[in-house]
Every structure is written in structure tokens, then in C-alpha cells.
Amino acid sequence: MRFLMRMTGKGVSARQQLSYDLLGASEGMRLLDVGCGVGDDVRSLAALVGASGAVVGLDNSEAMLAKARELSAGKRYPGEFIQGDMLHLPFADASFDGCRAERVLIHSADPIQALAEMARVTRAGGVVVVTEPDLETLIYHASQHDLVRRLSLWHCEHVRHGRIGRYLPEMFLQAGLTNIRSMPTVAQSATLSSYPLRLVDRATQHNLVSAAEAEELIAEWRRRDADGTFLEYGVYFTVAGRKG
């Protein structure tokens, strides 16, 4: 949950808005957000579809859903939150006008099955939108180029589907979706967070880097963070397809 709460800011907001636009989110639509987490997108979409529409957020974590309901309390358009498995969505065929997911297929045991389920519950003519990163594109600005390259590759290899972003268009084809559009965007941060620090710590524990290398890299990142030259980049792919 801490990771989801941390992922805010202009970059994420731009990707969220892109997915809303691709869905065509508007008054009266019924939409599904798979892997909704704490419900930020559900609330935003609910405001777009209004009282005549509906937005359902699904997550497998009751803790996430409890937080989502807490944050939605008192909102004019709070949305609805349901616990469930993305591999077996608890909805009838063609239940929604559109369906979206962001940063969840990367962790799925079977992302192709998850996407097929999203297509199944979307009506004919409706749109499915998915946003996922390609972790091999992760770049941290540092003088130790080889070390940072090793870190990025190691991180990509140790996430279940670290390169999923680049594979989304062919996955959409396999799911029978048409009019497929793929839009890469670059996320960036100029502030050092705990995420790369934890990455270095894990890599050190697995003997990918030495303690001396880790100490030098972290010291450089902290200097860059202090003088305003720290930079982190990564490519996300937002892909949309229409249900036939």
C-alpha cells in the first residue's frame, strides 16, 4: 500500500488522464478499474460518469479496499469497491462499457488470462485500457553507469513480468481486441525516494553489488538529491483496444 500511495504526481496524473480519455469516460458509462488499490482512479472516473453511471473498483486485498472505502467516504461520487480475483472476474459477460488496469498485470500470475477476463466483461464496442511499465528502461542518473545498468536489469528480472509494457499490444491481439493503440510515456522524478535505496539494499543482499559500491552510489544519489541533479526515468506503455 505504501508504494501505491507514493505513486502520485504529474507523471502519474498524465497517464491516468490518458487512460480516462482512451476509455472515453463520460456521463452514464459503467466502468471497471481492475486492481484499484486505494481507489484514486475509481473516484476520478466516478466524477466523470456521474450519478447516471457507475464505476466499480476491484482488488484482491481487503486492506486496500478498506482504505479505498475510507478515502471515498463523503464523496459525491464514491464508486463501488469489490474484492475479487482478476483472473476470475466476478461479473457477467459484457457488464461494462470499458475496463482499465494500471501497474497490476506486471504482478499477475497470468497476465494474458487477466486481460482476457477484462475483455470478457467489456461489452461489444467498449474499450479496454492497460498501463504498465517496462522495467528494463529504468534509468538512474549516476556516474557509475555499469552499476546502474546492472541494477536496472536485475530489478527487471526479479519482477514477475518486468518487461510486460512492450508485450501489451500482442497480448491485446491474443485477447481478440481490435483498433489497438500503444502510447509510450516517460515517467521521471527529480527527487530521491526510498524505492531506489531499497533496490540497492536488496541487490547488495543478493551480492549483485558490493557494500563499497552501494555506499558510493547512495552517497552520490544523496549529493545529487541535495543539489538538484538527481534524475530517475522509466517508460510506461498505455495500450487501448476495442472489443469486437
Provide, rounded to the nearest whole percent, the portion of the chain with pLDDT above 90.
94
Quick one: pLDDT at residue 58? 98
Is residue 11 predicted with pLDDT exceeding 80?
A: no
Digit-coded pLDDT (tens) for 179-230: 999 999 999 999 999 999 999 999 999 999 999 999 999 999 999 999 999 9
Q: Which pLDDT value is given to residue 13?
A: 75
What pLDDT is recorded for position 30? 98
Q: What is the mean pLDDT of the chain?
A: 93
- The mean-pLDDT minimum among 4-8, 78-82, 169-173 falls in 4-8
pLDDT beyond 70 at 4: no
Asked whether the predicted pLDDT for residue 3 surpasses 90, the reply is no
> Tens of pLDDT along 130-165?
999 999 999 999 999 999 999 999 999 999 999 999
Q: In the prediction, which pLDDT does 92 show?
A: 98
Say which CATH class 2-243 falls into: alpha beta
For residue 29, which of 83, 78, 98, 79 has the smallest C-alpha distance?
Answer: 98
Look up the pTM and report it: 0.91
Q: Kindly report, residue by residue over 72-127, the tens digit of the pLDDT.
A: 999 999 999 999 999 999 999 999 999 999 999 999 999 999 999 999 999 999 99
